[in-house]
Amino acid sequence: MSNKAKTNNFVVKIANVNGTGSASANGLLMKSIFRMGIPVTGKNFFPSNIQGLPTWYEIRVSKDGYLCRSGKVDFMIAMNAETYESDLADVSPGGFFLYDSTWARKGMMQRDDITVLGIPLSGMCNEAFESARAKVLMKNVAYVGALVALLNIDMGVVETLLNETFGSKPHLMEANMQAIKMGQTFALENFDCPLPLKLEPMDKTAGHVLVDGNTTAGLGAVYAGATVTSWYPITPSTSLIDAFSIFCKQLRVDPDTGKNNYCVIQAEDELAAIGMVLGANWNGARAFTATSGPGVSLMSEFLGLAYYAEIPAVLYDVQRVSPSTGMPTRTQQCDIISAAYASHGDTKHVLLFPADPTDCFHMSQQAFDLAEQLQTPVIVLTDLDIGMNDWMIPEIEWDDSYVPARGKVYDREALRNMDNFYRYLDVDGDAIPWRTLPGVDPKGAYFVRGSGHNKFGGYTEKSDEYKDVIDRLRRKFDTAASMVPAPVIDKATDAKANKQWAIVSIGSCDGAIREARDRLTASGIATLDYMRIRAFPFADDVANFILDYDHVFVVEQNRDAQLRQLLSNELSIDPNRLIPMLSYDGMPVSSDFIVDAVEEHIQQGRAA
């Protein structure tokens, strides 16, 4: 790539040890670039422990606004001697490798296709700072300083950011600035600054924000009118609940009474968490929980109850690498099947597939609306990549005229005006019955049960009565298909559109697919139409789209092609039409992966 091409277009990856405070330095770096108007994203690869293990932060600067991993590393900041070797190997040819040269490192120079830069960061900081903690922390700030020079970061922006953070603590402000300057000075004095990878101000971030999806999902639940949450801590979902709690503390304390218009309960485990959510929804509150794979497994008995007894509930599953405990701090889309069919027996659940933090916000309202309208659990299948990484998204807009869709609930007056209330009757022919809330009127009283019940709500062990209800539940799923968000279909503008292949995917694959499509078109390999599915059950458009092509590539981040399975099974589509493209090593899927996979497939197809 030419130097020109690398302006505002490269990946910086910082290798560090966790618990050494690198997060704030990396945030400073990200935000500086963002404030320079240049599109940027940050992905955090952290270990499942608290201190002392390798951690990486990958910043992609992309003038074209691509937010996914490209699959390349142009500049490695190697702060962790334990991973020097693999970090060195990770750098793409022509790239750069910066390390702490306080101690001489042998064998560092095996690669002659990259440029190695040594800065004695520890040495400088040990000298400059007193406290042990500062010596460690400031190393990180110092490499940011070096990058100011090496990448041509706007120093004014850096200063402003530091001021915003440390404005009230002048001694911290001073120390940080000192470290920045130290790094900057060393770089200016020793290297040819800026490097060919460099930044130039743009205006592409106006109207945008940098945020992770757990934050927007938590905030989205606040705006959806959720009042009760119960959860059990688990990576990577914990920060979603943290966000909800923090925003509630800011926005939901009654100014008159000082009392909370929300209720956050840390449960004793996931079974209790979902149980509380069901109890609260039954009783008329919008309630939700968040968890990850192991939690979904533990919740499955209760999810089956909610399906069968028709209790609304919202569950965010922030997916991580499975099976079992797996790699809790790595990403996958691996709970599609376990969520769609959670629980024994003939059970199905409504799923939403957000693609980014914007979706996490808006799908929160959709999830609660659908849960109450359909009287069933709605599972929002987000993932670690969306939930915990830093995404650049357009500012979220909010329409204050939003009114929660609470679905079919008879109030006191309606009850008084009717002869008899029966819980599970299909009054309106859409397979959705009416419900009532406890405490409203004795006439609304009914008995929720997970055991056999008939359409009146009575206990039954009679075959036909049981079947009547279970068949209506199946029909309710047809209604659901007509209500959930439709897929986003992106037809290639190219007139001679290719009807041989297209791409189908969900959620966080979106960014990588968009870039891959551009690259595939640009390289003349293929121009591919693309459908991003946003919900299960599948809207009609989903099958229509797929059947328009000889084959579709189903891109997803799990080993067993779970989306493909769901598509084939629920739409009766020949699985041979659905070509799996599976990235499941725990890293967010990269555009490289997709380009390579498509290219290989198409070339094989041509050869055959």
Partner 1 sequence: MSFIKKPKITHPGLPRNAAGLTLRDYEGAMSTLCAGCGHDSISSAIMQAYFELAIEPHRVAKVSGIGCSSKTPTYFLGGAHGFNSVHGRMPSIATGANAANRELQYIGVSGDGDSLSIGLGQFAHAIRRNVNMMYLIENNGVYGLTKGQFSASADRGSKAKKGEANPYSPIDPVLLAISLGCTFVGRGFSGDKEHLVPLIKSAISHSGFALLDIISPCVTFNDHEGSTKSYAHTRAHMRETVHADYTSVHEEIVSHVEPGEFKKIQMHDGSRVGFKRVDENFDPTDRIGAISYIESHRAKGEVVTGLLYLEESTSEMHHVLGSSETAMSELPYEKLNPGAQNLERIQARWR
Ligand X SMILES: Cc1ncc(C[n+]2csc(CCOP(=O)(O)OP(=O)(O)O)c2C)c(N)n1
List residues near ligand SF4 by CB under 6 A.
50-51
The least distance separating ligand SF4 from the CB of residue 49, rounded to whole angstroms, comes to: 7
Q: Given the complex with ligand SF4, which of 54 and 404 has the nearer CB atom?
A: 54
Q: What is the three-state SS of 389-438?
A: CEEEEECCCCCCCCCCCCCCECCHHHHHCCCCCCCCCCCCCCCCCCECCC
Residue 442 interface partner, choices ligand X, partner 1, ligand SF4, none, CB cut-off 5-8 Å depending on type: partner 1
The least distance separating a second copy from the CB of residue 339, rounded to whole angstroms, comes to: 8
Which residue is listed with tokens 């020079």? 149
CA dihedral 420, 424, 425, 430 (to 10 degrees): 140
Residue 468 CA from chain centroid, whole number? 39
The answer to whether 349 and 307 are in contact (CB under 8 A) is yes
Contact between 293 and ligand X (CB under 6 A)?
no
Chosen residue from 134, 138, 211, 234 binding ligand X by CB under 6 A: 234
Nearest to 159 by CA among 151, 148, 150: 148
Three-class DSSP category at 591: helix
Three-class DSSP category at 103: coil
Chosen residue from 34, 46, 143, 232 binding ligand X by CB under 6 A: 232
Q: Given the complex with a second copy, which of 191 and 553 has the nearer CB atom?
A: 553
Stretch that binds ligand X, among 71-79, 232-240, 494-502, 522-530 (CB under 6 A): 232-240
Contact between 46 and ligand X (CB under 6 A)?
no
Chosen residue from 169, 449, 474, 499 binding partner 1 by CB under 8 A: 449
Both tokens of residue 15? 């290798």
Chosen residue from 42, 218, 284, 295 binding ligand X by CB under 6 A: 295
Contact residues: a second copy, CB under 8 A: 47-48, 53, 293-294, 296-298, 300-301, 304-305, 307-309, 321-330, 332, 334-335, 337-338, 341, 343-348, 449-452, 461, 463-464, 466-467, 470-471, 474, 558-560, 562, 565, 568-569, 572-576, 584-587
Q: What is the three-state SS of 43-80?
A: EEECCCCCCCCEEEEEEEEECCCCCCECCCCCEEEECC
The answer to whether 550 and 500 are in contact (CB under 8 A) is yes
Q: Is 229 exposed, middle or buried (0-12, 13-18, 19+ CB in 10 A)?
A: buried
Q: Which residue is nearest to ligand SF4 (CB)?
A: 50
Q: Given the complex with ligand SF4, which of 18 and 41 has the nearer CB atom?
A: 18
Contact between 460 and partner 1 (CB under 8 A)?
no
Q: Given the complex with ligand SF4, which of 328 and 487 has the nearer CB atom?
A: 328
Q: Which helix (H) or strand (E) holds 330?
A: none
The least distance separating ligand X from the CB of residue 270, rounded to whole angstroms, comes to: 6
Contact between 88 and partner 1 (CB under 8 A)?
no
Residues in 323-342 at the binding interface with ligand X, rule: CB under 6 A: 325
Q: What is the three-state SS of 271-304?
A: HHHHHHHHHHHHCCCCEEEEECHHHHHHHHHHHH
Contact between 294 and ligand X (CB under 6 A)?
yes
Stretch that binds partner 1, among 99-107, 222-230, 493-501, 542-550 (CB under 8 A): 222-230
Stretch that binds ligand X, among 149-157, 292-300, 515-523, 584-592 (CB under 6 A): 292-300
Stretch that binds ligand X, among 37-45, 291-299, 333-341, 471-479 (CB under 6 A): 291-299
Q: Which helix (H) or strand (E) holds 531?
A: strand 529-533
How many residues sit close enough to partner 1 to count as binding (CB under 8 A)? 95
Residues in 225-284 at the binding interface with partner 1, rule: CB under 8 A: 225-228, 230, 232-235, 238, 247, 251-252, 254, 257-284
Q: Given the complex with ligand X, which of 96 and 232 has the nearer CB atom?
A: 232
The least distance separating partner 1 from the CB of residue 452, rounded to whole angstroms, comes to: 12
Question: Distance between CA atoms of 101 and 79, rounded to whole angstroms?
Answer: 10
What single-letter DSSP state applies at residue 453? B
Question: Distance between CA atoms of 201 and 331, rounded to whole angstroms?
Answer: 32
Both tokens of residue 553? 């590539």
Nearest to 319 by CA among 354, 268, 362: 354
Q: Which helix (H) or strand (E) holds 182?
A: helix 170-190
Q: Given the complex with a second copy, which of 8 and 55 has the nearer CB atom?
A: 55
Residue 232 interface partner, choices ligand SF4, ligand X, a second copy, none, CB cut-off 5-8 Å depending on type: ligand X
Residues at the interface with ligand X (CB under 6 A): 232-234, 270, 294-295, 298, 325
